[in-house]
Amino acid sequence: MDTLTKAQRSERMSRIRGKDTRPELAVRQALFGLGYRYQLHRRDLPGKPDIVFASRKKAVFVHGCFWHAHQGCKVANLPKSRTKFWQAKFQRNVERDKLNKRALRRMGWSTLTVWECEIKHLDRLLRRVTGYLGPTGPR
């Protein structure tokens, strides 16, 4: 059972952002500091990737562990109330992510998913992302 009233739950849920989240901002700031230049949330691409490197045809998705059901992550726990609703919601999110990545691959793009929990080890994450992107500078 939910410990909050409907109004309290609604107010909390309204604060959840779809873009410009803390993990996304941390990745963007670090990449910019390394000299990478990118576009944000390109509407013409499936899934509106969070960070887009058009000249490289590479897209980075920064996913919240809870909302995108990160396997094996302690943050990605199932709420104790309304479990059927949440299971279905998480499954739809995971399926949508797969479809968007598949569509991008068909368009000749490659994708990388960065998980919220990886931000804690930013140096390790940046090695992975820079390995994916390649050297900075014009292409």
Say how far apart CA 15 and CA 36 lie, in whole Å. 30
| pLDDT of 31 strictly over 80 | yes
Q: What is the pTM of this model?
A: 0.86
pLDDT digits 0-9 by tens, 63-113: 999 989 999 998 888 888 888 998 999 999 999 999 999 999 999 999 999
Place of tokens 């691409």: 45
The CATH architecture one would assign to domain 6-133 is: 3-Layer(aba) Sandwich (3.40)
Q: Other C-beta atoms within 10 Å of 18: how many?
A: 11
Mean pLDDT of the chain: 90
